[in-house]
Chain A
Amino acid sequence: MGQLQNFTKGFIRENPVFVLLLGLCPALGVTTSAFNGLGMGLATTFVLVSSNIVVSLIKNLIPTKVRIPSFIVVIASFVTITELVMEAFLPALFEALGLFIPLIVVNCLVMGRAEAFASKNNTWSAIIDGLGMGLGFAFALTILGGLREILGAGEIFGWSIFAGDGMLVFVLAPGAFIGLGYLVALNNIVKKKLDQNA
């Protein structure tokens, strides 16, 4: 598999949220606006790329039996770094994302890529894989956040689209589930079309 394909697979074909259904807790929890979704996506990308690099470097040093706890410690360290940096430089975003920043540790996407990809491939491929998957995650969160922001508040990235209040339910909890449900269905259709053309 070429590096380009390795990078682009995370967007549609193997999108972590729409296809693999991984990392759904932050995907539903923080996407009240496109900006929050993008912020969460980029924070996860940072953790994913960093942990992929370290895991691919130490893969021959750790015994197979204790690999999962070792991966968790690596991931947790990078999450703590993200937490401290974000609290210092982006306090507003830190407030908005709240509990979901420490919970990047248990995002199955990060653990899944460490176990399924980084521990079996060289560092360069692991970086590309982390970037592709992370940005695919950010892409999905931004779309879901944007959808909820447009329908719920009539805005996108804080820019007004239409006047009035919008449908409040899309900013609240039910809108997250329903919005994601329709986006998964849409992605299924797009994927099918791509497969037919290929």
Chain B
Amino acid sequence: MEYIIIIIGAVFVNNIVLAQFLGICPYLGVSARVSTSVGMSGAVMFVMTLATLVTFLIFHYILVPLNIEYLQTISYILVVASLVQMVEIILKKVSPALYQALGIFLPLIVTNCAILGVTILSVREDFGFNLLEGVVFAVGNALGFALTIILFAGIREHLDLMDVPKGMRGAPAALVVAGILALAFMGFANLV
């Protein structure tokens, strides 16, 4: 039951994009078409879950015993960067079809602050997650990212056909739409 609460909390209540403002760059950058946003969501889910698993172990079994928690930022970003590189190489060999689908999105993920943000959040003391809860938290956040970016891409495809005032075309209109979407997600507040 508590795993379901973690997932619902991450997807709807504290949505990673619309409530916590993480991963805005891919959210605006690759949301022009539904198909690309699906690819990006897949890549995020893959890397976020793996990265949280690895950094969780590093934090609790290397950084804490050695008393060097202040190296968290440096070690995490290196782990995420090398993990992405490794996933790319393995995927190319093992599953060329999946590599084709996620291909161009994988390198972009290194600078996706959603990944680093979730890995840092999942070891926070006030959450007190164990390993499995941390991984479930990462999956929930990835699902939340997928839900919002696919919804947003669907709206933006329709927005292309609308007669938007000249000054508002492109980024400004997309940002206002994101704001309205955030307003809708506020309806989920206090759900859990």
Contact = CB atoms under 8 A, between A and B. Distances in A.
Contacts of A180: 175
Contact count band on B: 35 or more
Nearest to B173: A181
Contacts of B110: 106
A80 B71 contact: yes
Chain A at the B interface: mostly helix, strand, loop or mixed? helix
B24 interface: yes
B21 to A, nearest CB: 4
A84 interface: yes
Nearest to A106: B113
Contacts, number: 113
Interface of A: 21-22, 24-26, 28-29, 68-69, 72-73, 76-77, 79-80, 83-84, 99, 102-103, 105-108, 111, 169, 172-178, 180-182, 184-185, 188-189
Interface of B: 18-25, 28, 70-74, 77-78, 81, 110-113, 116-117, 120-121, 167-168, 171-176, 178-180, 182-183, 185-186
Chain A to chain B: the 10 pairs with minimum beta-carbon distance, closest first? A181-B175, A177-B179, A29-B21, A178-B179, A185-B172, A181-B176, A174-B182, A174-B183, A76-B74, A24-B24
Given A180-B175, A182-B172, 4 more contacts: A24-B28, A102-B120, A172-B186, A173-B19
